[in-house]
Structure 1
Amino acid sequence: MAKNTEQRVVAELGRPETPDETFARKAETSRKHRANQTLLNLVGATVASLGIVLFLVLVVVRPSDEAPVTADYQTIAADAQVDASEPLLAPSLPESWYSNSARLGTTSSVQTWYIGFVAPPSASQFIALEQGIDANPTWLGIVTDGAAATDTIVINGISWTVYDRRSSSDTGNYAYSMSAEIGGSTVVLHGTAASSEFELLAASIAADAEVQ
């Protein structure tokens, strides 16, 4: 069978293309094909990346509409009372307040009743109540984070020592603290809320202690 040696005629030249021109034409065609494939791959990768970002925005980092975790601290206090030798404080507070944690445990060998409160207007307004039963100076130093006393105030007949470190940095939930002796317990309040919120809680504690 005879080999087909017909050469491609280049219209612009009016003659068959040379072997070099054939090679160059095929090389250019391959280059354009690879360039198109690279562009398609780039577009595909970009679309995939945008899809991932959209997924993260819509699903992963979207704000949660779930209600905050709350603890019925008064019920927990009533249940834990059987294991405590002193009345556990469970002050009544405005409905805008809520507790996110309540437990009876031990700190530095001292039985400690803990309640975490969140006060208005935001979740950054936090106050912890820690009641140490038959507490000692070591316990007090731990639950005030070693802060030095800066003032004393009397609220509803109870004298409180104040530890104000709000002008310092990195004090966390010990930016402001108050301590008082109530019955056989040492009570410490500490957190990030405004002074007025601390005083409201202290007044509620005084009322709760009178009832007991």
Structure 2
Amino acid sequence: MQPEKNTENSIPATGNTANGTETPAASPRSLDDPNATFEDLPYKPQLTEKQAKRANQTFKGMVLSIGFTVAILIPVLMLNPPPKDDAFESDVNLQATAEQTEQISGFEIFAPELGDKEYANFARWQANTAQGVPYWECGLVFEDKNFVWVRQAADANPTWIALITDAATPTETRTIGGAQWEVRTKDQNTYLISEFKDSTVVLSSDTSAEQLNSVAEQVASELD
């Protein structure tokens, strides 16, 4: 690419009609001058025809590449929509599992009827435990992801309760649903413990004290 002389910055000498003298042509500013402009360049950069064609092809290629990427992503996103919280369905059949467990537990199992947006995320009989106390347990999930853990045993003892509650500290005794519940707390967890005619129930939650009390009322209503 050959530099081209810039004739725009060259001001021809003009005659001074007043005294007959000539004014010298103004010289372009130095490129180090903060007031310099494009007009002060010694030449105007120009692209050759091949360079212009190559730049145009590069731009078109970039546009086509973006278009192809978008065309591929749209079907993928449509085929894989983001999961919705209310679309989750648990495959745990709480009532059926509780009925089967009652045949071997020797006591009435607590398994409440749950609403449309409520479910059990696990339900099982723990027979071979290190504490030597077999027990029923299930996890109840309610609206706003509130969670209550239910554990129930016929042969509960202080050691088993201490292990189940992670050695939580007893704080008070509370009447809920007509039953007496011992309250224990540790960190964010609250535990409710109560004895019924043929079993001891331990409820715990770290999400909602209100939901925990609601489940305690259901336990007292069904087992008392």
Residues 164-183 of structure 1: pairs in structure 2 closer than 5 A: 164=185, 171=188, 175-183=189-197
Equivalent pair of 1:91/1:204 in contact (CA under 8 Å)? yes
Query: How much has 1:62 moved relative to structure 2?
Result: 2.5
Residues 186-201 of structure 1: pairs in structure 2 closer than 5 A: 186-201=200-215
TM-score after normalising by structure 2? 0.62
C-alpha separation between the residues in 2 aligned to 1:148 and 1:53?
A: 55
User: Which of structures 1 and 2 has the bigger CA Rg?
Assistant: 2
Structure 2 unmatched ranges of 5 or more: 1-45
Cα deviation per residue 1:137-179 (whole Å; 9 max; x = unaligned)? 44323432443233220224422122345xx5xx4xxx33212
Aligned to 1:101, the other structure's residue is in SS state strand
The amino acid of 1:205's aligned partner reads V
| RMSD of Structure 2 on Structure 1 (CA) | 3.2
The amino acid of 1:80's aligned partner reads T
The answer to whether the aligner puts 1:147 opposite 2:161 as a matched pair is no
Residues 60-209 of structure 1: pairs in structure 2 closer than 5 A: 60-64=80-84, 66-69=87-90, 71-92=92-113, 97-106=118-127, 107-109=129-131, 110-120=133-143, 122=144, 124-164=145-185, 171=188, 175-209=189-223
Aligned to 1:74, the other structure's residue is in SS state helix
Cα deviation per residue 1:105-146 (whole Å; 9 max; x = unaligned)? 2443431211222234x3x12112111332344432343244
Query: How much has 1:189 moved relative to structure 2?
Result: 1.0
Identical amino acids, percent of aligned pairs: 27
Bigger relative contact order, structure 1 or 2 (CA pairs below 8 A, ≥6 apart): 1
Aligned to 2:99, the other structure's residue is in SS state helix
Higher relative helix content: 1
TM-score after normalising by structure 1? 0.65
Q: Which of the residues 23, 33, 54 maps onto 2:53?
A: 33
Structure 1 unmatched ranges of 5 or more: 1-24
The amino acid of 2:67's aligned partner reads V
C-alpha separation between the residues in 2 aligned to 1:52 and 1:93?
A: 43
